[in-house]
Structure 1
Amino acid sequence: MSIPVNAAPGTAPPAAPPASAASRAPGIGICFAFLLGIAVPVGVLGRSVPAGDTLAIPLGLGAAVIAGAIIPGPTRRLLICTLTSLPFAVALLALVLLATILGTLILQGLPPEAYARHYGGAVAPILLGLGLNDLFHASWYAAWLVLLAAALVLVAVRRKTWRPPQWGHGLAHLGVVLILAGALAGVREGFKGHIDLHEGQSTDAALPVSRAGAAATPRPLGFSLRLDDFDVEHYPPEPKFVVYERQGNSFKPRKAIKLKDAGAWTAIGSGGASFRWVRRIEASRRESESHVLLVQRDATAPPEEIPVTPDATVPLPGGAWRVRVLGYYPDFVIDTETRKPASRSPHPNNPALQVEVLPTGGGPGRKQWLFARMPEFDHGGGEGAGPRLRYRYLPAEIPAQVEVEVRSPEGEGTHRFAEREAEPLQLPDGRTILAYERKTEVKEYRSRLSVLEGGRTVREKTIEVNDPLTWRGWSFYQSNYREEDPTYSGIQVVRDPGLPLVWAGLLMMCAGLVYIYYVRPRMTRTREGLPPRPEEAS
């Protein structure tokens, strides 16, 4: 049994021991229940008001709380003691933090049917009913932020922060209030949308990003925005070889080999084939285009090259055969009306030769078609007598090429890929394709914008992804582009009127912390005649 000890005359009684966490737990629980109880009616009422007035109820609640704490009456002391208590602060901050985490984890602003797909038919109605699909615009979430701001104001008043020793606490508390006010202003008046423009087009409105499937109504800007120019910058192309393998009825990429790594033999597919890069052949130009026949006398003999010209007859190697070129079609096509061969254009898009193979000693010949883009297809050639023919078209403009050496169980040889629009090489196994690609990646894209007021240009700027054009509170960011449409630019539009309040609040809070932890201790030591601490001496 403890015996109370009376304080000595003229001395203050001993301070009461600090309350333990266990003793505060009931109060925190009561505050949790109180705050959750507020959220339910506020959330229900918030759904019944227009979208632009969802903050009316939370702001009204905050005004009522402040008024109840100022106006004398039986509730004044209760409100002040409750809102400035530690249990209330713990409960409120915990709920705000939990709600913010949920708003980060749960997808926001999607149509209702999307939540059923993502979270299932049992969970989706709960998310929609509690407003967790648009949490940061929910009335109950705003109500908690308003109560937090009201509590901070009351704490600042209760601590009499207008007195010099408490200036730091006042600045810190009011700084947080400004941050919350800026956040609420952004919720109510903020805007996030987009503008789609082509070069030369202008608009005076932006289309908002619809929330929860709501219809989007264009928002006037108060001025016009014009896209003067759009430009896409690419990284230098990185050439590589890509191996494709047949999967079902299509070919799928299996692996990619960078050109710098292709000097060594590299396996291609699972059929025992391999390849290696040999050299790069620079672009050049001939006096004119030329046609070459690849003549293979038997299955084991290597092909021999024989230059030919249209309407000419030339002997073939071995002396037993000769070939006559009956016609050349630079852009071969079958005429749909006459059902006869024709050329769509004079450009060598699909070069083809019609030839006749004749015995040197006389006798009937054999007509066949040869196609440069499909050298294995010799329509009319068949397996009859005579050598096998293939056709190679050599344009006057010879593009730069990459030469590779290929080995397979069927044999070995070299192949050249044009650096631009290279035709892929299909291996004899029929299951593997080797392709040469020079794809480029986008480095950045930018738009040159002009702001027009009254038909006059008042501002110009080239925007990029993180470098917007700002005018009258509106910010325009480069958002996207379309590879197939080089004149199109997608622009993200953002307006946040609460941002200045947020920045001001951050500055006030920082100033308050500096005052609390640096200025006031130094002033106190100076007033008491104590020397400054070593870290303060400098």
Structure 2
Amino acid sequence: MTDSPTRPTPRPAGAAEAPAVMEARLTALLVTGALLAGALLQVWVPPGALTLVVASGIAGAVVLAVALLTPGRLRATIAGFRFTSTLLVALAVFAIVGTLVLQGKPAEFYRLRYGAAAPVILGLHLDDVFHGLPFAGLMALFGAAVIASAAQRWPLRARNAGFFLCHLGLVTSLGGAAASAALSIRGRIDLHAGGETATHVRVTKAGMGTGGAAPLGFDLRLDRFDLVNYETEYRVGYYRQELVRDEHGTHRQWKLAASFDPDLERHLLPGGDTFRLKEIWPDFTLQDQVAPVAAGGQPALQATLEGQTRWLLPGERLATPDGRAAVVFGWERPAAPPGALTAFLVSGAERKVVVHTADGESEVPLAEGLALAGGAVRLGALVPQAQRTQVPATASAEWKRPVVRLEAVRDGTAAEKVMAADRPEALFLDADHALVFERRDGEVKAFLSTVTATRGDESLRTVVAVNEPVTFAGWTLYQVNYNPQDPSYSGLEAVHDPGVAWVFAGFALISLGVAYMFYVEPRLKARRRAQPGVPTSPAQAA
């Protein structure tokens, strides 16, 4: 007689969900408790780098000790994925707040910029959100979660080395960030070219102190300071009026919203309006234009002298800049102008040219295209009855005196205006929006400090430029300022950050651990499964 198979006892509905429910409750309790406790204690403990480091270190140690030493779900909850995910979401919210609210500004700045919201920002210390106790509480929980997760997988083996490398990298980066917050020094160095030397930095921000001066540990000399300017350029600027609040109150101010290259393309403006340059004269001048008429006009002659071309009416002349040569036109023979060494006297009625010089006179028949003085003088068409007008033209292709004809279309209505860069005028789209054709020169492209740093027998001569810092003896030097009225002055920022190397070392360990988990651990597990006698499933192991 065989025994009847044993039927499994039915599990009460929801029993499998109890650990998950408990984990969710503990997660919510820990995260909410850290935020509320931090916000309450922050009434007495102001934010700061030292506050962040000490509070997160103490709180993290306490939470980790309680989790490891007490029975129950606390340790599994802290080491679980749900807890870490919730922490990351909370940290992301802090990052968003810290981005939307500018950090570390004077109280008056927040009153002017944020208005009625300023008391809330200052009261909750949202002006220094990353150094406050609520953020320290989240960092404490995150550090405890990293260590608890690693403790669950102990001991270290080849098959889980990638996991431990990643967690070691996280701990290293957190430690480096703590060192940076507590020990870093940021300050200013003001130097003048010509041999002035600095040995200290004027501290503007320090982890464990404020103000004062800190020794550099080396001598820094400014050998030369150079300004590099952009070449002169011409742009179409789109300006709009904005409401500005400052120490003088609230007022409207024109600000540049966008700028465009001067070309013949149609450009789209914010809001859907458009504009284009219908004509561009890089080297603007007014050029004579003659049109024949049936009656009522005057005779006109086209003449060119040393590259200058004009239409001359009777009694007018075209002369060289020094006045020594001139072309004079008249219907009857004109007189030679005083002071001209060589005069070309053109008579329209006689159709001839008298070349007058100090040695005498000679006559040449007038003909269209006549060239005299080796081609320096050319005579064009003679129009007996003409009307002369002046039209815009360009004297050369060089951008010397640029003028444009700008057309803007707003709400389907077109408006145009001739605009000169040397005399900027606005084409108003409405009361708060305008287009201006303007010249921009003197704008600084870069400022360069040639410095020499000396420490004992070690010396370094290099150039510090914007976005090109220099590191020496543990300090990083940045080019941050200059004085247009004092071409010998250079303002440098000096930063000493002992934790940044550890932060990057942590990133390297994390990258190495991820690579190990993806490319090494699968091969080790496959090799282990292929070995005889090694169980390949939990059932076989049983």
User: TM tier, shorter chain?
Assistant: 0.5 to 0.7
Contact residue 180 and residue 502 of structure 1 kept, 8 A: yes
Spell out the pairing of 1:386-397 with structure 2 (5 A cutoff): none
Q: Give, as a single letter, the amino acid of the residue that structure 2 aligns with 1:527.
A: R
Q: Match for residue 59 of structure 1? A: 57
Shift of the alpha carbon at 1:304?
7.3
Q: 1:222–1:78: structure 2 CA closer, same or farther, 3 Å change rule? A: farther
Shift of the alpha carbon at 1:108?
0.6
Equivalent of 1:452, from 428, 451, 454? Answer: 454
Shift of the alpha carbon at 1:35?
2.3
Q: Match for residue 108 of structure 2? A: 113
Q: Match for residue 218 of structure 1? A: 213
Shift of the alpha carbon at 1:524?
1.7
Q: Match for residue 31 of structure 2? A: 32
Q: Give, as a single letter, the amino acid of the residue that structure 2 aligns with 1:56.
A: V
CA distance in 2, matches of 1:140, 1:63: 16
Q: 1:472–1:255: structure 2 CA closer, same or farther, 3 Å change rule? A: closer
Shift of the alpha carbon at 1:226?
1.6
Q: Match for residue 152 of structure 1? A: 146
Contact residue 228 and residue 448 of structure 1 kept, 8 A: yes
Shift of the alpha carbon at 1:148?
0.9
CA distance in 2, matches of 1:25, 1:115: 38
Q: Give, as a single letter, the amino acid of the residue that structure 2 aligns with 1:276.
A: W
Spell out the pairing of 1:211-290 with structure 2 (5 A cutoff): 216-235=211-230, 237-238=231-232, 240=234, 276-277=281-282
Unmatched tracts of structure 2, length 5 or more: 10-14, 238-255, 265-277, 286-312, 324-329, 339-387, 404-417, 423-437, 532-542
Equivalent of 1:93, from 85, 88, 95? Answer: 88
Establish whether residue 191 from structure 1 lines up as the match of residue 189 from structure 2. Answer: no
Shift of the alpha carbon at 1:149?
0.9
Q: Give, as a single letter, the amino acid of the residue that structure 1 aligns with 2:455.
A: E
Q: Match for residue 170 of structure 1? A: 164
Contact residue 225 and residue 449 of structure 2 kept, 8 A: yes
Spell out the pairing of 1:302-451 with structure 2 (5 A cutoff): 411-412=390-391, 433=420, 435=422, 439=441, 442-451=444-453
Q: Match for residue 519 of structure 2? A: 518
Q: Match for residue 43 of structure 1? A: 42
Contact residue 42 and residue 143 of structure 1 kept, 8 A: no
The DSSP-based 3-state class of the residue aligned with 1:528 is helix
Q: 1:457–1:129: structure 2 CA closer, same or farther, 3 Å change rule? A: same
Establish whether residue 465 from structure 1 lines up as the match of residue 460 from structure 2. Answer: no
CA distance in 1, matches of 2:511, 2:259: 54
CA distance in 2, matches of 1:35, 1:233: 52
The DSSP-based 3-state class of the residue aligned with 2:45 is helix
Q: Give, as a single letter, the amino acid of the residue that structure 2 aligns with 1:60.
A: I
Shift of the alpha carbon at 1:433?
4.8
CA distance in 1, matches of 2:487, 2:320: 45
Q: 1:302–1:239: structure 2 CA closer, same or farther, 3 Å change rule? A: farther
CA distance in 1, matches of 2:186, 2:442: 32
Unmatched tracts of structure 1, length 5 or more: 8-15, 244-251, 262-272, 281-297, 310-316, 324-408, 426-430, 531-538
CA distance in 2, matches of 1:515, 1:432: 65
CA distance in 2, matches of 1:495, 1:206: 10
Q: Match for residue 485 of structure 1? A: 486
Q: Give, as a single letter, the amino acid of the residue that structure 2 aligns with 1:120.
A: G
Q: 1:279–1:434: structure 2 CA closer, same or farther, 3 Å change rule? A: closer
Establish whether residue 128 from structure 1 lines up as the match of residue 122 from structure 2. Answer: yes
Can you list the C-alpha shifts for 1:332-382, whole angstroms capped at 9, x where unaligned? xxxxxxxxxxxxxxxxxxxxxxxxxxxxxxxxxxxxxxxxxxxxxxxxxxx
Contact residue 82 and residue 88 of structure 1 kept, 8 A: yes
CA RMSD of aligned residues (A): 5.0
Shift of the alpha carbon at 1:505?
1.2
Q: Match for residue 495 of structure 2? A: 494
Q: 1:42–1:308: structure 2 CA closer, same or farther, 3 Å change rule? A: same
Q: 1:161–1:479: structure 2 CA closer, same or farther, 3 Å change rule? A: farther
Q: 1:484–1:88: structure 2 CA closer, same or farther, 3 Å change rule? A: same
CA distance in 2, matches of 1:256, 1:95: 42
TM-score normalised over the length of structure 2: 0.57
CA distance in 2, matches of 1:220, 1:482: 25
CA distance in 2, matches of 1:241, 1:30: 59
Shift of the alpha carbon at 1:492?
2.5
CA distance in 1, matches of 2:122, 2:97: 13
CA distance in 2, matches of 1:82, 1:473: 41
Shift of the alpha carbon at 1:32?
3.3
Q: Match for residue 142 of structure 1? A: 136
